[in-house]
Amino acid sequence: MAHPRLAALRARTLAAARGTVLEIGAGTGRNLPFFGPPAALVIASEPDCRHLALARRRLERARVPVLFLAASAEALPLPDGCVDTVVSTLCLCSIPDVPRALAQIRRVLAPGGIYLFLEHGLCSDPRVAAWQKRLTPFWRRIAGGCHLDRPIADLLIAAGFIVERLKTGPLLPAPRLLGWTYLGCARVPGLTEADASS
């Protein structure tokens, strides 16, 4: 997780975060140093209190205020439309109920808000994808619930997001079986900030 190539991808993903930011699956806080203006506040959501304790140790490297929230992505204790940006990096693979989590992300996004994601999942090469599907039942038992075969873009579209920008490929420092990457930005259809203020 500390590989320089992955750090560069984190920085690239989080550069567009603005306003009030909700990070899903903040883990041990590896993303905290990469948030900066125009982000005004980061709400770091993580269900594992042990990870949150480690994340607090990285707080001194944060360049914006951080609020820690012990909560799962499937049950966010936040009001509707309260965040401008949602971020997830390498966590959709291990969330037990992804459709429910994506519904929560949609709910908390403000009009015109964006969802920035850096995730790994199902490879476009059918041979690699077949191996991902075969290995996932075993892999998720030894790797903290991680699924190798989640079709990230399809899940976003099924949840009602418009995927505005998407790059896929072997971007992570790992074999395609483990590191087929989805990097992009999605929005909720409907009102934009301009529409909401008129």
pLDDT at 19: 98
Which of residues 194 and 93 earns the better pLDDT score? 93
Q: How far apart are the C-alpha atoms of 80 and 39, rounded to whole Å?
A: 19
Which of residues 171 and 18 earns the better pLDDT score? 18
- Say if residue 98's pLDDT is above 90: yes
Mean residue pLDDT across the chain: 92
- Say if residue 1's pLDDT is above 70: no
8-state DSSP, 37:
T
Interval 123-167: pLDDT, tens: 999 999 999 999 999 999 999 999 999 999 999 999 999 999 999
pLDDT at 172: 85
Interval 45-61: pLDDT, tens: 999 999 988 898 888 88
197 pLDDT band, cuts 50/70/90, is very low
Are the CB atoms for 44 and 69 separated by under 8 Å? yes
Instruction: Please identify which residue in the block is written with the tokens 């993303």.
Output: 31
Are the CB atoms for 55 and 29 separated by under 8 Å? yes
Q: How far apart are the C-alpha atoms of 96 and 76, rounded to whole Å?
A: 14
8-state DSSP, 59:
G
Across the chain, which distance is largest between two alpha carbons, in Å? 53
Please indicate, yes or no, whether the overall pTM of this predicted structure exceeds 0.85.
yes
- Using DSSP, state whether 124 is helix, strand or coil: coil
8-state DSSP, 146:
-
- Say if residue 192's pLDDT is above 70: no
Class of domain 4-189: alpha beta
- Say if residue 173's pLDDT is above 90: no
Q: Which amino acid is at 121?
A: G
